[in-house]
Amino acid sequence: MYRLNENYLKLPGSYLFSGIAKKVAEFKEANPDRKVISLGIGDVTLPLVPAIISALHEAVDEMASPGTFKGYAPDLGYAFLRETIAAEDYRSRGCNISPDEIFISDGAKCDCANIQEIFSQDTRIAVCDPVYPVYVDSNVMAGRTGNYDPAAGTWSRVIYMPCTAENGFSPDFPDEDPGLIYLCFPNNPTGTTLTKDQLQDWVDYAIRIGAVIIYDAAYEAYISRDQVAHSIYECKGAESCAIEIRSFSKNAGFTGTRLGFTVVPKAIRCGEVSLHSLWARRHGTKYNGAPYIIQKAGAACYSREGKAQLKEQVALYMENARVIRQGLADCGYEVYGGIDAPYIWMKIPAGMTSWDFFDRLLTSAAVVGTPGSGFGPSGEGYFRLTAFGNKDDTKIAIDRIRLL
Ligand code: MLT
């Protein structure tokens, strides 16, 4: 006899992007002659750059030879990658992060979903609204979010921090003190950012109330302005209160290849216990390690050629962002984001829901985007387009939107 984890049964509908994929598949089946352009899920379209491809080839050859073959990866990940990350992503920006505080993983999404496991079930979480659905969904599965109100689209024990045009997409500190605060900047879905000073205020707040910030920095490669921090550890005191999650998906095209990492500084302590020791314990037991081949490919992102090639790739996506922003603004839409991030967040015409707009865009223009309300109640009235599409398709999509 067994029973189900009833928390899973509380989840309404399907995962946002799975639901959209189903709708798009149905549309394609009914309209086989229409060329559908996806500016929906933030999936990259450019191939892996040459520096990464040659690292993959070399690593495959190493696996073919008895002297260089590798079995299980070390628990935290290979030292060559952790040392490179510590030097290139952190020390170069004045952040005091050591290689053994970096945990290599098979992608940021899993880490974003799993990190909540090391916190007690009664920990209150605070999220920006709108928000990347994984943070809330994973806490629902863990039984931490209370009951769902379908009319409001909210969970009774989740603290929502609205981020709208009215507050410049910069969340206010919540009225109730959370234990865990999820922040993502540059933001998914709004494509907006906080300044380093604003982020410092969040770090100071977390220290004051004894909370931990889970900082999702998956989109840091898209930052173009100096006033925006690439890492939360650029803020004073963040090593004592912030866990940072990073990805190779959006900056290096690893959405299918899978690689990411999480930084858990040893200084974050709950009484006598360091969070690092708990995450290390979990990693040892529940995680198989990103394959050697993939970790080698990750290290190639930091080589001179790798960095130059990836910079070019990010610039191509940001040119798409410019085309989308400009095209929508020309049509009279209010647009946000897309300057330090690969997401453009647009205000939709009054009187429509964001799902109405999704349907209209799909059926009239054969363009897929993401309805703002899919990311939370404050996302209603907005719509997200990504800059990760192919260049020509992005231009065609904008031309089609102009004709709506
Ligand atoms: C998104 O579109 O929000 C992201 O691509 C989803 C993800 O990274 O899992």
- DSSP reduced 3-state for 386: strand
**Cis (ω within 30 of 0) for the bond into 189?**
yes
Q: Is the pLDDT of residue 231 over 90?
A: yes
User: Chain-wide mean pLDDT for the chain?
Assistant: 97
Average pLDDT over residues 270-297: 95
- Ligand 1 centre to CA of 184 (Å) is 12
Q: Is the pLDDT of residue 240 over 90?
A: yes
Fold type of domain 13-47+305-402? Aspartate Aminotransferase, domain 1 (3.90.1150)
In degrees and rounded to multiples of 5, residue 248 shows phi and psi of -100, 5
Q: Where are the domains of the chain?
A: 13-47+305-402, 53-303
**Which atom of ligand 1 has the smallest separation from the CA of 132?**
3
**Which atom of ligand 1 has the smallest separation from the CA of 188?**
3
**Which atom of ligand 1 has the smallest separation from the CA of 40?**
2
**Which atom of ligand 1 has the smallest separation from the CA of 134?**
9
Average pLDDT over residues 13-34: 94
What is the number of alpha carbons within 13 Å of residue 350 lying toward its C-beta? 0
Question: Which run of H or E residues covers position 183?
Answer: strand 180-184
CA 101 distance to own-chain centroid:
20
Look-up: residue for tokens 């198989």? 288
Q: Are 345 and 335 in contact (CB under 8 A)?
A: yes
Q: Are 34 and 366 in contact (CB under 8 A)?
A: yes
The verdict on the CB of residue 245 being under 6 Å from ligand 1 is no
Residue range 42-96, pLDDT digits in tens: 999 999 999 999 999 999 999 999 999 999 999 999 999 999 999 999 999 999 9
The verdict on the CB of residue 188 being under 6 Å from ligand 1 is yes
- Ligand 1 centre to CA of 70 (Å) is 31
Residue range 336-372, pLDDT digits in tens: 999 999 999 999 999 999 999 999 999 999 999 999 9
- DSSP reduced 3-state for 169: coil
With both helix axes pointing from N to C terminus, report the angle between 304-330 and 391-402 in degrees, rounded to the nearest 10. Answer: 10
Residue range 183-217, pLDDT digits in tens: 999 999 999 999 999 999 999 999 999 999 999 99
**CATH architecture of structural domain 53-303:** 3-Layer(aba) Sandwich (3.40)
Q: Residue 289 — pLDDT band, cuts 50, 70, 90?
A: confident
- Mutate-to-test residue for ligand 1 from 15, 43, 128, 382, highest number of ligand atoms within 8 A of CB: 43
With both helix axes pointing from N to C terminus, report the angle between 50-63 and 304-330 in degrees, rounded to the nearest 10. Answer: 140
CA 72 distance to own-chain centroid:
27
The verdict on the CB of residue 41 being under 6 Å from ligand 1 is yes
Q: Are 310 and 251 in contact (CB under 8 A)?
A: yes
Percent of the chain with pLDDT over 70: 100
- Ligand 1 centre to CA of 274 (Å) is 30
Q: Starting at the edge strand that comes first in sequence, how are the strands of the sheet with 335-337 ordered? A: 335-337, 343-347, 382-386, 370-371
- Ligand 1 centre to CA of 130 (Å) is 14
| CA–CA dist 285, 308 (Å, integer) | 37
- Ligand 1 centre to CA of 3 (Å) is 31
Q: Residue 287 — pLDDT band, cuts 50, 70, 90?
A: confident
pLDDT at 15: 87
Q: Is the pLDDT of residue 288 over 90?
A: no
Question: Which run of H or E residues covers position 155?
Answer: strand 154-155
Number of residues that this document lists for the chain: 404
Percent of the chain with pLDDT over 90: 97
**Which atom of ligand 1 has the smallest separation from the CA of 386?**
2
pLDDT at 105: 97
CA 303 distance to own-chain centroid:
24
| CA–CA dist 123, 49 (Å, integer) | 42
Residue range 150-163, pLDDT digits in tens: 999 999 999 999 99
- Ligand 1 centre to CA of 17 (Å) is 8
